[in-house]
């Protein structure tokens, strides 16, 4: 199958141009100047629309009325379909682990990873916890928290059957250091988060090999001039990447701008932290047996605790550009290349280049999604959706 994308504005992490993109047998065949006659099974006239490498969301719990915790193949398919409508071509199924309870949802993700969701690609599992601070647990049930131990980590790793890509951990907890070392030796990304770590403990974690941060600022101590906490250590490092929820609610717009300009374009990783209400109307929904309210793009428990977003990646990307003043190439980094590099997938994803996967999102000038292509397959088409 050969797809020809004609006359698109090709936005890559390092550059942009206007031309054609050819995708053949699931891979990008190449890019060229617009015009000319080329044979193709499917010809799509982009009419100057924006073509970017597909977005990768490393932190999403649910979308389209479904949640990873639903522990059913249909839930993962619904999440993948909703992701595709927002330009996401790959995602980590993000969830919790119950140290003394049912983890059928983990087994379900493992099983679904062996198949094709026919939408955004399931790239693995991200577990928030169980080695987190009880004081910074956010929406995570206290019964899902455990003392860091290599034994429990190995149990989780075994249950994930090769699909565990990332685990959020509080490095200040006793026993965290050896667990982080074990994560790294098993190619699992240790991500600092849900943590009460101070400045010195954060520096220790960076020396141990931690190089990524879960939803920066949220569920961690704020910065203070006499008690700096983890944030200066993160911002002043030269290599640590950080997840940013750019809705303007989880982080104030001014702080998003300040943070982005401190981290730089290569260290920002946009995430949705999406919930089952992502893509659905405002109203009441449920997460892990508790009711939350979706309003204005934010999900909150009754007590006001933020539990995630209900905005799609393209919507958050637009706000990110509005808040930072950056251009589209920066979005291609923060939503595509940087997460691809984080997951060690940048040889196959993260840019529109010959030989890479045919993962492309085509957007209108206002960054609404017009079409999403995953490995050379059209999985979302706005025109078809509107027609139906």
Q: Which domain holds residue 28?
A: 2-52+351-387
Q: Please write the tens of the pLDDT for every residue from 91-109.
A: 999 999 999 999 999 999 9
Do 281 and 307 reside in the same domain of the chain?
Answer: yes
What confidence score (pLDDT) does residue 138 get? 87
As a whole number, the mean pLDDT across the chain is: 96
Angle at 19 between CA 15 and CA 23, to 5 degrees: 95
- 284-321 tens-digit pLDDT: 999 999 999 999 999 999 888 888 999 999 999 999 99
Tell me if residue 273 is catalytic. Answer: yes
Reported as a single tens digit per residue, the pLDDT across 227-269 is: 999 999 999 999 999 999 999 999 999 999 999 999 999 999 9
Average pLDDT value for residue range 313-336: 98
- What is the length of the chain? 388
Let me know whether 168 and 291 are in one domain.
yes
Do 304 and 203 belong together in one domain?
yes
The CATH number of whichever domain residue 128 belongs to comes to: 3.20.20.140
Q: Looking at the structure, tell me whether residues 222 and 297 fall in a common domain.
A: yes
Contact criterion met (CB below 8 Å) for 314 and 308: no
Instruction: Check residue 388 and give its pLDDT.
Output: 52
Six-digit token pair at 303? 């007590």
One domain for residues 43 and 81: no
Its pTM stands at: 0.97
Claim to verify: residue 287 and residue 375 sit in the same structural domain: no
Residues 244, 274: one domain?
A: yes
| Structural domain total, the chain | 2
Does 368 share its domain with 237? no
Same domain, 93 and 175: yes
Mean pLDDT of 262-289: 96
As given in the structure block, the two tokens for residue 335 are 């939503």
Is 230 found in the same domain as 364? no
Kindly list the distances between the CA atom of residue 110 and the CA atoms of 66, 104, 149, 297, in Å, as whole numbers in the listed order: 17, 10, 23, 30
Q: Are residues 72 and 134 in the same domain?
A: yes
**Antiparallel, parallel or unpaired: β 62-63 and 66-67:** antiparallel
Question: How confident is the model at residue 385, as a pLDDT?
Answer: 73
DSSP tag of 217: T
* CATH (domain of 383): 2.30.40.10
Percent of the chain at pLDDT > 90 equals 93
Residue 369 and residue 231 share a domain: no
Residue-level pLDDT at 39 = 82
| Of 20, 57, 273, 357, catalytic | 273
Terminal CA-to-CA distance of the chain, rounded, Å? 25
Q: What is the mean pLDDT of residues 110-136?
A: 97
CA distance 188 to 105: 19
What would the pLDDT profile of 9-55 be if each residue is shown by its tens digit? 999 999 999 999 999 999 999 998 866 667 899 999 999 999 999 99
What's the rounded Cα separation, in Å, for the pair 345 and 242? Answer: 17
Collapsed DSSP state (helix, strand, coil) of residue 122? strand
Round to whole Å and give the CA distance between 166 and 154: 14
């Amino acid at each position: 199958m050969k797809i020809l994308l004609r006359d698109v504005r090709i936005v890559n992490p390092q550059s942009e141009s206007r031309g054609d993109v050819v995708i053949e047998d699931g891979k990008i065949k190449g890019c060229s100047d617009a015009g000319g006659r080329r044979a193709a099974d499917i010809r799509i006239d982009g009419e100057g629309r924006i073509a970017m490498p597909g977005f990768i969301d490393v932190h999403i719990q649910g979308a389209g009325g479904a949640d990873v915790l639903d522990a059913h193949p249909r839930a993962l398919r619904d999440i993948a379909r909703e992701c595709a409508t927002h330009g996401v071509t790959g995602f980590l199924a993000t969830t919790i682990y119950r140290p003394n309870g049912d983890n059928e949802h983990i087994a379900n993700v493992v099983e679904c990873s062996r198949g094709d969701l026919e939408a955004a690609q399931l790239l693995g599992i991200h577990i928030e916890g169980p080695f987190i601070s009880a004081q910074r647990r956010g929406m995570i049930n206290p019964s899902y928290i455990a003392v860091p131990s290599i034994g429990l980590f190995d149990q989780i790793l075994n249950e994930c059957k090769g699909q565990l890509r990332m685990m959020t951990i509080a490095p200040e907890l006793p026993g965290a250091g050896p667990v982080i070392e074990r994560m790294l030796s098993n190619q699992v990304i240790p991500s600092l988060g849900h943590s009460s770590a101070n400045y010195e403990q954060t520096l220790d974690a960076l020396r141990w090999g931690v190089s990524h941060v879960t939803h920066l600022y949220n569920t961690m101590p704020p910065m203070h001039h006499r008690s700096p906490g983890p944030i200066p250590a993160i911002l002043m490092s030269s290599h640590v990447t950080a997840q940013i929820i750019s809705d303007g609610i989880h982080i104030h717009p001014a702080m998003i701008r300040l943070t982005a300009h401190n981290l730089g374009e290569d260290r920002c990783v946009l995430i949705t932290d999406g919930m089952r209400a992502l893509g659905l109307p405002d109203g009441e929904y449920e997460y892990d047996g508790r009711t939350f309210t979706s309003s204005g793009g934010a999900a909150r428990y009754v007590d006001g605790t933020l539990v995630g977003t209900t905005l799609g990646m393209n919507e958050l990307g637009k706000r990110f550009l509005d808040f930072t003043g950056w251009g589209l190439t920066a979005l291609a980094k923060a939503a595509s290349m940087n997460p691809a590099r984080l997951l060690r997938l940048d040889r196959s994803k993260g840019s529109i280049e010959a030989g890479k996967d045919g993962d492309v999102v085509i957007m209108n000038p206002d960054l609404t999604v017009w079409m999403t292509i995953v490995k050379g397959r059209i999985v979302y088409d706005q025109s078809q959706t509107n027609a139906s």
